[in-house]
């Protein structure tokens, strides 16, 4: 890990107590009060038809919204990798693909003028550079890069696509939300997508908004490639969703095995998030 003066100054400006030794600061979440931490949605409050297709030759379900294939609320399936039929594919699929990782641990990026709060984008990038070995370099002529752009909500592709891809930032996206979306771009899934998820939490299917059930599948259930780091779910992960995500009746959709609730945070990468990044980019 490394910190320079610029990065430390940008991180300090967040007033979120980022440091070179990240603290697991959790914001409270109760049914009686409005969430102080909001999770990421590509198109908040909007619904669209559900479709099936093949993403890296794995069958997937996604919601079609404003011309984009949306999965798990904020993960965008890039049309470059999405097809209507099973295609010959010699490589392995998912996050183990070499082409899905950013070469030399370097994310090539641009910031579109439409992106709100450019300083927040730079602060999120500074957090990633301070806490991990991932570097961010502004694009010159590279074909594969990520464009930070404005939109109605927060969303991202998962991993490197190899052509133009987006991190979409809505007016309510915080620095923490942007750090979360960069996590997807680097290759992180949501924490609740772990293969061993059901050992740690209960998915309350009766409380899920109709049509949103597929958002609660593990990556194994979705036929994706992935890995679980450690033997416990990291409730402090910046990639973890709230107990009320996609609720259809105001009751929790995710609880601990004993029925209790938990808190989420959007302050910064947790220690286990950092270990997962090291696993992907040794």
Q: Active-site positions?
A: 181
Give long-range contacts, CB 8 A cutoff, 24+ apart: 9-17. 10/122, 10/123, 10/126, 10/127, 11/123, 11/126, 11/127, 11/130, 13/123, 14/123, 14/127, 14/175, 16/175, 16/176, 16/267, 16/268, 17/267
Q: Are 201 and 36 in contact (CB under 8 A)?
A: no
Q: Beta strands 58-65 and 106-111: pairing type?
A: unpaired
Strand positions, DSSP E, the chain:
50-55, 58-65, 68-71, 75-77, 82-83, 106-111, 135-138, 145-150, 155-156, 164-169, 201-203, 254-256
Give long-range contacts, CB 8 A cutoff, 24+ apart: 166-172. 166/76, 168/42, 168/76, 169/115, 169/116, 169/117, 169/120, 169/121, 170/44, 170/116, 171/116, 172/38, 172/44
Give the separation between CA 129 and CA 147, rounded to whole angstroms.
Answer: 18
Angle at CA 235, nearest 5°, toward 44 and 95? Answer: 75
Q: Are 242 and 37 in contact (CB under 8 A)?
A: yes
């Amino acid at each position: 890990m490394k910190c320079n003066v610029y990065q430390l100054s940008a991180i300090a400006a967040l007033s979120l107590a980022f440091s070179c030794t990240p603290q697991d600061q959790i914001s409270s979440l109760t049914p009686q009060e409005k969430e102080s931490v909001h999770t990421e949605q590509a198109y908040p409050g909007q619904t669209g038809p559900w479709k099936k297709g093949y993403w890296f030759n794995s069958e997937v379900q996604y919601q079609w919204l404003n011309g984009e294939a949306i999965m798990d609320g904020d993960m965008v399936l890039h049309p470059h990798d999405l097809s209507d039929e099973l295609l010959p594919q010699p490589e392995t699929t998912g996050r183990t693909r070499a082409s899905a990782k950013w070469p030399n641990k370097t994310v090539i990026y641009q910031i579109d003028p439409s992106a709100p709060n450019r300083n927040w984008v730079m602060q999120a990038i500074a957090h990633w550079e301070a806490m991990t070995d991932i570097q961010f370099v502004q694009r010159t002529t590279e074909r594969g890069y990520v464009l930070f752009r404005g939109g109605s909500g927060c969303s991202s592709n998962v991993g490197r696509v190899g052509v133009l891809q987006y991190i979409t930032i809505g007016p309510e996206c915080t620095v923490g939300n942007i750090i979360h979306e960069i996590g997807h771009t680097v290759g992180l899934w949501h924490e609740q997508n772990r293969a061993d998820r059901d050992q740690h939490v209960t998915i309350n299917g009766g409380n899920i908004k109709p049509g949103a059930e597929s958002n609660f599948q593990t990556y194994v259930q979705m036929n994706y490639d992935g890995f679980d780091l450690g033997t416990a779910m990291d409730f402090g992960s910046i990639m973890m969703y709230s107990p009320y995500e996609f609720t259809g009746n105001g009751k929790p959709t995710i609880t601990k095995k004993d029925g209790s609730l938990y808190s989420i945070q959007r302050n910064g990468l947790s220690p286990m998030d950092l270990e997962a990044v090291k696993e992907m980019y040794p």
